[in-house]
Structure 1
Amino acid sequence: MHIHHEKLEIRTNGKGLYEITDGIQAKIDECGVRNGTVTVFVQHTSCSVTIMENADPTARRDLEEFLDRLVPEDADYFSHGSEGSDDMPSHIRMVLTRTSETVPIVDGRMQLGTWQGIFLFEHRRAVHLRKISITIIGEWVGKVGSAGDWGQSPLP
């Protein structure tokens, strides 16, 4: 069993769902894990990661509109607003969604359903550079960039 850590940076153009499935699969391909899991974790408090339908863009639009209604911007009951009227709503949206997703890997491929994709869900209006931590755990087959990329499991 091996552990591999990667980073992915995504520049967002404001609120929306940004598919990152291919970028994550590329990291799996590069490190050569055959079977295991991949965990995707976003290192921010105003965006999230979710598994969502990736075929019909109206499903993504409906989700965004639902959260806009559930947690409206410019609400007069928010005290925290030092970074703008969309800041506190973005924190609430992050709490209501997820900061990580874990997906099984079998034969080198993520085991997502036919219509599933992994998305960075940006909750702020402004452009941001988002950092995503990717942890791949599994059986390694192939080469790795350097020996330091992998850590042995402490378990026998």
Structure 2
Amino acid sequence: MWRQQELRLAPRPRGFHLITDEVADGLAGLREVSTGLLHLQLLHTSASLTLNENADPDVRHDLDAFLRERIPGDLPYFRHTLEGPDDMPAHVCASLLGTQLTLAVRGGRLALGTWQGLWLGEHRDHGGARRLIATLQGE
């Protein structure tokens, strides 16, 4: 079985956001898959997807603070500045963290570790709604 659909994520402020339930609840056919894979591809270049801590929101805060300190918007060698001071740092963060994930599916659910969750990294001050292509494969 193969299914592909687009998921739309509501606009969020800059930072990292736990989106595990939003993605799982929006996937048609997930409960029907006993063994499979889910591939998620974010259709943007200034946001990211990553798998990390799902329990303590301080982890999301700390990673955002770490990236903001190391990739500020006022680096003198950035040439791509027409879209604002947060745009080029957002592209750097998206490239470092990535824009796609492949996850195991088991028993109709995402096969995540106890403390794992899907994060959307919003790296723009006003990034807007984000879109994901979700491709579900399994039996």
TM-score by length of 2: 0.93
Partner of 1:109: 109
User: Would you identify which runs of 4 or more consecutive aligned residues in structure 1 move more than 3 Å?
Assistant: none
C-alpha RMSD of matched pairs (Å): 1.2
Q: Is contact 2:13–2:125 with CA below 8 Å preserved after alignment?
A: yes
Shift in Å at residue 127 of structure 1?
Answer: 4.3
Alignment of 1:6-155 (within 5 A): 6-28=5-27, 30-31=28-29, 32-139=32-139
If you compute each CA radius of gyration, which structure gives the higher value, 1 or 2? 1
Cα distance in 1, alignment partners of residues 72 and 97 from structure 2: 15
Shift in Å at residue 14 of structure 1?
Answer: 2.4
Residues 97 and 132 of structure 1, relative CA distance in 2, 3 Å threshold = same
Q: List runs of 5+ in structure 1 lacking aligned partners.
A: 140-156
Cα distance in 2, alignment partners of residues 23 and 137 from structure 1: 19
Q: List runs of 5+ in structure 2 lacking aligned partners.
A: none
Cα distance in 1, alignment partners of residues 33 and 23 from structure 2: 12
Partner of 1:145: none
Q: Is contact 1:41–1:99 with CA below 8 Å preserved after alignment?
A: yes
Q: Is contact 1:45–1:91 with CA below 8 Å preserved after alignment?
A: yes
- The 3-state SS of whatever aligns with 2:93 is helix
TM-score by length of 1: 0.83
Deviations 1:53-74 (A, max 9, x none): 0100111111001111121112
Q: Is contact 1:11–1:127 with CA below 8 Å preserved after alignment?
A: no
Cα distance in 2, alignment partners of residues 16 and 8 from structure 1: 20
